[in-house]
Amino acid sequence: MSVVLIVEDELLELEFLKSIVAEELLAKDKILTCQSGGQAVKLAKQYRPDMIIMDILIPEMDGLKALEEIRKFLPQARVIILSAYSDFSYAQKAIRLRVQEYLLKPIKPSVFKQIFHDLLTTPTTVTVRQVDPGEEVTETKTNNKHLIEKSIKYIHDNFKQKLSLQAVSSYVFLNPQYFSRIFKKEVGVPYIDYVNKLKIEYACKLLETTNYPAYRISSECGFTDPSYFNRVFVQQMNMTPKAYRRKHLSDNADNG
């Protein structure tokens, strides 16, 4: 039997979360709800939930403080944090408290449902240990690697849109300058080069498989300025989009 605790002080938001969670659970499972940090700790002690969905700004005791108390006796509970603020210090503390997901409000029902389903069906093993100062660097590196992997998945899902460094760094709750630095260190290339490479690869595919004019392909790849798209394309492919299409057609004709 799964036990899910939802902690949210806004009643409409609480009902929204409860309705989505109920769709994913079985009849024998239990949903607990409360509206304050103090109540959350008490319910967690009494019912020992497998999963906790926690708002940060709640009465009595904020969500992260409540989670800090809950972690003392429920180290393996899976946790989704909800917040209306992309505050870097909140995200850092959430990482230390081994939060699986940190989501910014408002969140789309389909997105929340998928994340909840994934956490519910994927076993999560949490290792409980005391971290001495000498291990903090290793832990930070591990957290950074996890966040960069998460950002890369987000980039691959959204690169066809205009995708700024600020948007992606906000998604993983990192300061943009810090995110830029660790992205280059972990991936080996700057953020903008990585995204543009994906965009140009997609542009090549469209040039090969459609009759779209260059300005439309620019838009399909998430560029807002066709002339910038042209410059990036030339930098990467050493030819213009029109020349690339001509070459592709010529190569196909020769092979045929």
Contact predicate 126/75, CB 8 Å = yes
Q: What crossing angle do the helices spanning 11-24 and 109-121 adopt, rounded to 10°?
A: 50
Does 140 score more than 70 pLDDT? no
Kindly report, residue by residue over 20-72, the tens digit of the pLDDT. 999 999 989 999 999 999 999 999 999 999 999 999 989 988 999 999 999 99
Does 126 score more than 60 pLDDT? no
H or E stretch covering 212 = none
CA quadruple 92, 94, 100, 103: dihedral positive or negative? Answer: negative
**What is the reported pLDDT for 171?**
83
Lowest mean pLDDT among 53-62, 77-86, 229-238, 247-256: 247-256
Does 125 score more than 70 pLDDT? no
- Strands, E assignment, 35-127: 51-55, 78-83, 101-104
d(CA 67, CA 73): 10
Contact predicate 238/206, CB 8 Å = no
pLDDT band at 87 (very low <50, low <70, confident <90, very high): low
Kindly report, residue by residue over 199-213, the tens digit of the pLDDT. 999 999 999 999 999
Mean pLDDT of the chain: 87
Does 133 score more than 70 pLDDT? no
Lowest mean pLDDT among 114-128, 130-144, 236-250: 130-144
Question: Which CATH code, of 3.40.50.2300, 3.40.50.300, 1.10.3720.10, 3.40.50.150, is assigned to 3-121?
Answer: 3.40.50.2300
Percent of the chain with pLDDT over 90: 54
26 or 144, higher pLDDT = 26
* Domain 193-255: top CATH class: mainly alpha
Q: How many CB atoms sit inside 10 A of residue 2's CB?
A: 15
d(CA 25, CA 152): 30
- Strands, E assignment, 44-120: 51-55, 78-83, 101-104
pLDDT band at 240 (very low <50, low <70, confident <90, very high): very high
Phi and psi at residue 16, to the nearest 5°: -60, -50
Q: What are the extents of the domains in the chain? A: 3-121, 133-183, 193-255
